[in-house]
Amino acid sequence: MKSTAIIGAGITGLTAAFYLRRKGVPVTVYEASHRVGGAIETVCADGYMAEFGPNTILETSPKVTQLVSDAGLASRRTDPDPKAAARYVVRYKRPIEMPGSPLGFLTTPLFTARAKLAVLREPFVAARRDGKEESVAEFVIRRLGQEFLDHAIDALVAGVYAGDPYKLSVPQAFPKLGQLEARYGSLIKGQIFGARERKKRGEVAKDRAPKFSFDRGLQVLPDTLSQTLGEAVRLNTTVTRLTQTADGWTLDLRERGQQTRAEHSAVIYAGTAFKLAELEVQSAAPLQLTTFAEIRYPPVASVVLGFRREDLAHSCEGFGMLIPRVEGFKILGTIFSSSLFPNRAPAGHLTLTSYVGGERFPDLASLPPEKLFALVCEDLRVLLGLRGKPTFQHSVFYPRAIPQYNVGYGRYRELMANIEQKAPGLFFAGHYRDGISLSDTIVSGCKVADRVGEYLVAT
């Protein structure tokens, strides 16, 4: 029977394996590390529950909802506290709540009168039609002005990509922005008139999508998928070479120090771009995998700290705060984790998850844990009125954290599509191809399972 190899036991690989098995396709997931989940990691200690990497899943697609249901996790889903709807952006060295209505925008101290006028003029700014690929900064300055870039979009980009708005590509990193301008001539008009079309497709804009987790954190999802797959998941197993054959692919493996081989009809690569560049592939047509080493992954440190409730002056009720570069702080932003979901901290305590590094301060991410804790606390003293010392502290360093969809990134996606054509039975999926959010990678896993299923039937 035709089988499929999946390289990488992150959420994309596990989702693809889960749905291929439901189609009756035998699968084997090869994971080089000792655990499943990739960037998803939940740590429980001393009454705290800490998330490293993503903190929530956005319900942007029916495929996300369906996976939770199919995995039998609907009863374990945890929705945010209604009081956690507030989001903050730092200005004047303090977090200010983002407005949630047109009237709120007109009265918010986040922006000057000049910036508000620039936003109100946006529907009358001519759409760009020359086909030039713009950076996020170029696009925002042209349509909304410099202040909106410096005090809002820069913070958003740091929070989502840990990236640089002067490098990130609009069509690659935020494609819906460019699509709104192309179709409606305006972002504001597009938000109004595009909502009906998204509803028909069953999609929800990311800024409005419901977010959720699970009773024991996000790790519940990859762990459950892995348990369902059982022995089909092989940890501590590195794929060192792929060789195309008349019947499919031969995989050379290094499993717990032993060299072995496996035969499969199709292969899904669901790892990272930089590891893909190191993979040796022998096929009828020459493949240029080393090009993927050019894809930038800046370093990021995730720092989770616990505090006594009385040691923070700010209420910390809300999702968290984003911090623009111009405000002069070292952290990129902070999620109010224990206000977002229950059981993230002991009674009378709070859990705060802060991020350091990215394209803004790449050298800071690799600081020793104790220096990271001190750096974060220093910023939180100014921003949130922190007075005491942490009652819990833990950090994780990601030397290569998030792929940057910078200007020109389209050539990598085109190369992936070209390789798939040249080497039938080899498929690419995951955060380096289909979007970096957790929901994007789930959808990527669903779609590649469908593609592989169709390929196996056709061959």
User: Would you place residue 202 in the very low, low, confident or very high pLDDT band (cuts 50, 70, 90)?
Assistant: low
Residue 254, number of CB atoms within 10 A of its CB = 15
Q: Is residue 45 part of a domain?
A: no
CB-based burial of residue 355 (10 Å sphere; 0-12 exposed, 13-18 middle, 19+ buried)?
buried
pLDDT at 130: 87
How big, in percent rounded to 5, are the helix, strand and coil portions of the chain? 40, 25, 35
Q: Is residue 78 part of a domain?
A: no
Residue type, 272: T
Predicted TM-score (pTM) of this structure: 0.94
Which of the residue ranges 38-47, 138-147, 183-192 would you say has the lowest mean pLDDT? 183-192
How does pLDDT run across 221-262, given as a tens digit for each residue? 999 999 999 999 999 999 999 999 999 999 999 998 899 999
Look up the CATH number of the domain holding residue 32.
3.50.50.60
Whether residues 192 and 146 fall in one domain: yes
The more confident residue out of 203 and 365 is 365
Whether residues 283 and 418 fall in one domain: yes
Residue showing tokens 């959720």: 212
Q: Is residue 350 part of a domain?
A: yes
pLDDT at 160: 96
CA separation for the pair 436, 273 (Å, rounded): 12
> Is it the case that residue 1 has pLDDT exceeding 80?
no
Look up the CATH number of the domain holding residue 127.
1.10.3110.10
Q: Which of 374, 398, 422 is the last residue of a domain?
A: 398
pLDDT at 192: 78
Whether residues 290 and 408 fall in one domain: yes
CA separation for the pair 391, 372 (Å, rounded): 15
User: Would you place residue 131 in the very low, low, confident or very high pLDDT band (cuts 50, 70, 90)?
Assistant: confident
How does pLDDT run across 382-439, given as a tens digit for each residue? 999 999 999 999 999 999 999 999 999 999 999 999 999 999 999 999 999 999 999 9
Whether residues 393 and 331 fall in one domain: yes
Whether residues 171 and 183 fall in one domain: yes
CA separation for the pair 442, 429 (Å, rounded): 10
> Is it the case that residue 200 has pLDDT exceeding 80?
no
- Residue ranges making up the domain that contains 146: 111-201
122 contacts 187 by C-beta, under 8 angstroms:
yes
pLDDT at 208: 73
pLDDT at 204: 64
Whether residues 371 and 324 fall in one domain: yes
CB-based burial of residue 286 (10 Å sphere; 0-12 exposed, 13-18 middle, 19+ buried)?
exposed
Q: What are phi and psi of 455, to 5 degrees?
A: -65, -45
Those residues with Cβ within 8 angstroms of residue 291's Cβ, 6 or more apart along the chain or in another chain: 277, 412, 415
Q: Is residue 429 part of a domain?
A: yes
Mean pLDDT of the chain: 95
How does pLDDT run across 327-369, given as a tens digit for each residue? 999 999 999 999 999 999 999 999 999 999 999 999 999 999 9
> Is it the case that residue 194 has pLDDT exceeding 80?
no
Nearest to 405 by CA among 448, 445, 436: 436
Look up the CATH number of the domain holding residue 318.
3.90.660.20
Q: Which of 373, 398, 423 is the last residue of a domain?
A: 398
> Is it the case that residue 443 has pLDDT exceeding 80?
yes
Q: Is residue 439 part of a domain?
A: yes
